[in-house]
Amino acid sequence: EAQVTQNPRYLITVTGKKLTVTCSQNMNHEYMSWYRQDPGLGLRQIYYSMNVEVTDKGDVPEGYKVSRKEKRNFPLILESPSPNQTSLYFCASSLGRDNQPQHFGDGTRLSIL
């Protein structure tokens, strides 16, 4: 089954404690991206990757890092989380930048206390 898998689905943690949200896709997609979803703001892109070792900033990259060492994985790293990063996060993948639709994971709800 084609899917994008995120882990964890839920996490409550404290300010400053480094965390990583993993994302894996089994569709051999080149393009992957991370979004955050906040009430009244919709989805905003954090980072995207057009292929292995190629990443770039989206609309709201501050406070986040990503890496793309393998085609299937695109982890999101919060080196020093802060309460304003409390949000619902989605990973997505597609065949390429100009190939839609994107396939979304089920989301990760992060709460930073």
Q: Which of 58, 44, 61 is nearest to 97 (CA)?
A: 58
* Window 94 to 113, contacts with other proteins (CB under 8 A): 97-98, 100-102, 104-107
Residue 4 in the binding site for other proteins (CB under 8 A): yes
Residue 48 in the binding site for other proteins (CB under 8 A): yes
Residue 93 in the binding site for other proteins (CB under 8 A): no
Q: Which of 3, 45, 4 is nearest to 23 (CA)?
A: 4
Q: Which is nearer to other proteins, 63 or 107 (CB)?
A: 107
- DSSP-assigned letters across all residues of 31-89: EEEEEEEETTTEEEEEEEEEETTEEEE-S--TT-EE--SSSSB--EEESS--GGG-EEE
Q: How far is the CB of 76 from other proteins (least distance, A)?
A: 15
Summarize as ranges the residues that interact with other proteins (CB under 8 A).
4, 31, 33, 40-43, 45, 48, 56-59, 90, 92, 97-98, 100-102, 104-107
